[in-house]
C-alpha cells in the first residue's frame, strides 16, 4: 500500500525547521488551529516580542498582551512555561540533538502544554529524526485507514505493528502518508 502512495506522491521533500525555542513556540501556537489563523497569531506574537521570539522576550510580555495577539489563556501559559524551562536550563535546545528520542520526549513533555504529538513533530521536523511514528496523529490515522481500506481508525498498537516493516524510516513513511491526504496527491 505504501509503495503505491510513494509512486503517486513522488520524491521525498520534507521541509525542516531549526531545532530551537522559536520552533517549539510555533508548534504550540499552531496546535488545533488552521495554518492561516496560526500564522497570523504567530506573526503578531513575534511582533509583540520585538521581532525575535526568545525566552527573555516572551517573559517580558505580560500574559494580557499575549492574549491580545490572539493566544488562548492556555497557550499563553504553555509558551511562558516553555520560556521558564528554557531560561532555567531545564530545556537546553543545544543538547537535544545529542539525546535519544526517548530523552527528548521526556524533556519536552515535562513542559506544560507539550504532549507526545508536539514532541513527535519536533523530533521529525526540527531534529530530523528518521524513525519517528506519530501514532496519535489524526492525519496518519486517516491516511492509514484510507490506504489500507480499514473501516475504523487504526489504534496506536495496530499502527505500531503495521509500521515494523517501515523501520528505521517511519518518518519517511509518515511524510508520505500525510501527503497522500492532499488533494493534489494524484491518489
Residue 184 has pLDDT above 80, yes or no: no
- Give the SS3 label for residue 18: coil
Closest CA to 141 of 125, 151, 155: 155
> What is the pLDDT, as a whole number, of residue 185?
57
Task: Mention every residue, 6+ apart, whose C-beta is less than 8 A from residue 172.
Answer: 12, 14, 130, 166
Residues written for the chain? 187
Domain ranges of the chain: 2-12+134-180, 21-125
Per-residue confidence (pLDDT) for residue 186, from 0 to 100:
52
How many angstroms separate the most distant Cα atoms in the chain? 51
Residues 48/24, Cβ–Cβ less than 8 Å: no
* The predicted structure's pLDDT at residue 1: 82
Does residue 126 contact residue 19 with C-beta atoms inside 8 Å?
Answer: yes
pLDDT by residue (tens digit) across 114-123?
A: 999 999 999 9
> What is the percentage of the chain residues whose pLDDT exceeds 70?
98
Q: Does the pLDDT of residue 187 top 70, yes or no?
A: no
Distance between CA atoms of 91 and 102, rounded to whole angstroms?
A: 14
User: Which pTM was predicted?
Assistant: 0.89
Residue 31 has pLDDT above 90, yes or no: no
Which pLDDT score, from 0 to 100, does residue 17 have? 94
Structure confidence by residue, pLDDT tens digits, 147-162: 999 999 999 999 999 9
- Identical fold, 2-12+134-180 and 21-125: no
For residue 179, pLDDT over 90 is answered with: yes
Average pLDDT over residues 67-77: 97
- Write down the mean pLDDT value for the chain: 94
CB atoms within 10 A of CB 53: 22
**Grid cell 521526556 in the structure block, residue:** 106
Statement: 2-12+134-180 belongs to CATH 1.10.1670.40: yes
Catalytic-role residue among 7, 11, 88, 137: 137
Q: Which helix (H) or strand (E) holds 166?
A: none
User: pLDDT band at 72, cuts 50/70/90?
Assistant: very high
Q: Quick one: pLDDT band at residue 35, thresholds 50, 70, 90?
A: confident
Fold of 21-125: Endonuclease III; domain 1 (1.10.340)
The string of pLDDT tens digits covering residues 126-144 is 999 999 999 989 899 999 9
Residue 137 among the catalytic residues: yes
Tell me which DSSP letter residue 164 carries: G
Amino acid at each position: 500500500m505504501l509503495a503505491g502512495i510513494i509512486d503517486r506522491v513522488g520524491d521525498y521533500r520534507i521541509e525542516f525547521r531549526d531545532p530551537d525555542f522559536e520552533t517549539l513556540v510555533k508548534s504550540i501556537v499552531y496546535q488545533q488551529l488552521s495554518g492561516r489563523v496560526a500564522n497570523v497569531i504567530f506573526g503578531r506574537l513575534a511582533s509583540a516580542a520585538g521581532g525575535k521570539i526568545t525566552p527573555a522576550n516572551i517573559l517580558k510580555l505580560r500574559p494580557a498582551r499575549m492574549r491580545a495577539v490572539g493566544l488562548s489563556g492556555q497557550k499563553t501559559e504553555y509558551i511562558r512555561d516553555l520560556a521558564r524551562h528554557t531560561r532555567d536550563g531545564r530545556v537546553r535546545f543545544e543538547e537535544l540533538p545529542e539525546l535519544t528520542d526517548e530523552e527528548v520526549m521526556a524533556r519536552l513533555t515535562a513542559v506544560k502544554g507539550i504532549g507526545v504529538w508536539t514532541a513527535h513533530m519536533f523530533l521529525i521536523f526540527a531534529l530530523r529524526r528518521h524513525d519517528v511514528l506519530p501514532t496519535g496523529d489524526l492525519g496518519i490515522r486517516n491516511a492509514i485507514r484510507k490506504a489500507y481500506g480499514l473501516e475504523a481508525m487504526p489504534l496506536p498498537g495496530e499502527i505500531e505493528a503495521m509500521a515494523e516493516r517501515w523501520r528505521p524510516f517511519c518518518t519517511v513513511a509518515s511524510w508520505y502518508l500525510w501527503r497522500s491526504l492532499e488533494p493534489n496527491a494524484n491518489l
